[in-house]
């Protein structure tokens, strides 16, 4: 709740200045819950666990020279369990995005995110992470377009830096329109996970190939 209070105060201060009159503000407030009920014969109908959650986010968007824009978004999320209290957590996420488009051919997109996740009753799993992303899109012609994505994400654990690790992702997608009814997209992604210390876990490299298509019957 303390993080939610900080979030609300920050936005009230921001929007107390008339200089922000040209900005567009969107947001959402959501509350919900989930009940886990046993389907085993001897425990049929018995409630195994229950959790409730709150989710609040605000986004401020500013259009620049059309069609470029940027936005700032902040999100608060909390979840509380009746039984598995070790999963109780509060998260606040700050996100910035800047999209720059040159006519209808080229587009650059830069994105940065900072997340703080606090496990209330299991502080060893609490961490801070940051994400840096860049995307380049090129419309070659009316039928062909490709996109390049680069992302790095680092996790820093508050009580045990030996668990720290980062993930780097590289992705390319090629979209091709065969005719008015048929489109196909080829994708390739490589993801590298590397731990800063040997005791933190195993390093991993994952690759993924994909083919997507759309055909209007």
Are 34 and 83 within 8 A, CB to CB? Answer: no
Q: What pLDDT sits at residue 3?
A: 57
pLDDT score recorded for residue 18: 47
Counting the structural domains of the chain, the total is: 1
Q: Where are the beta strands (DSSP E) in 103-143?
A: 106-119, 127-139
Edge-to-edge strand ranges of the sheet holding 182-195: 24-37, 47-63, 69-81, 89-102, 106-119, 127-139, 144-157, 165-177, 182-195, 204-215
Domain of residue 48 covers: 2-215
Q: Please identify which residue in the block is written with the tokens 């060893």.
A: 124
> Tens place of pLDDT for every residue, the chain, 217 residues?
555 555 555 555 555 454 555 688 889 999 999 998 877 666 566 777 899 999 999 998 888 777 788 899 999 999 999 988 999 999 999 999 999 887 778 999 999 999 999 999 999 999 999 999 999 999 999 899 999 999 999 999 999 889 999 999 999 999 999 988 899 999 999 999 999 887 778 899 999 999 999 998 8
Distance, in Å, from the CA atom of 54 to the CA atom of 43, rounded to the nearest integer, reads: 30
CA 51 to CA 34: how far, in whole Å? Answer: 6
CATH number at residue 31: 2.40.160.10
């Amino acid at each position: 709740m303390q993080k939610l209070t900080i979030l609300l105060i920050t936005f009230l201060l921001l929007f107390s200045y008339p200089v922000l009159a040209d900005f567009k503000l969107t947001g959402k407030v959501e509350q919900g819950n989930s009940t886990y009920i046993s389907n085993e014969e001897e425990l049929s109908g018995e409630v195994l666990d229950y959790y409730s959650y709150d989710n609040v986010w605000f986004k401020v968007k500013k259009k620049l020279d059309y069609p470029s824009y940027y936005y700032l978004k902040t999100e608060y999320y909390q979840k509380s369990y009746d039984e598995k209290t070790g999963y109780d957590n509060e998260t606040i996420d700050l996100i910035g995005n800047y999209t720059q488009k040159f006519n209808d051919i080229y587009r650059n997109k830069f994105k940065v995110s900072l997340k703080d996740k606090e496990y209330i009753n299991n502080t060893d799993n609490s961490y801070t992470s940051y994400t840096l992303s860049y995307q380049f899109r090129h419309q070659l012609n009316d039928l062909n377009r490709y996109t390049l994505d680069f992302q790095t994400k680092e996790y820093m654990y508050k009580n045990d830096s030996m668990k720290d690790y980062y993930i780097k992702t590289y992705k390319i997608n090629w979209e091709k329109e065969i005719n008015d009814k048929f489109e196909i997209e080829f994708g390739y992604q490589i993801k590298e996970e590397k731990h800063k210390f040997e005791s933190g876990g195993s390093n991993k490299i994952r690759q993924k190939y994909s083919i997507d298509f759309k055909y209007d019957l």
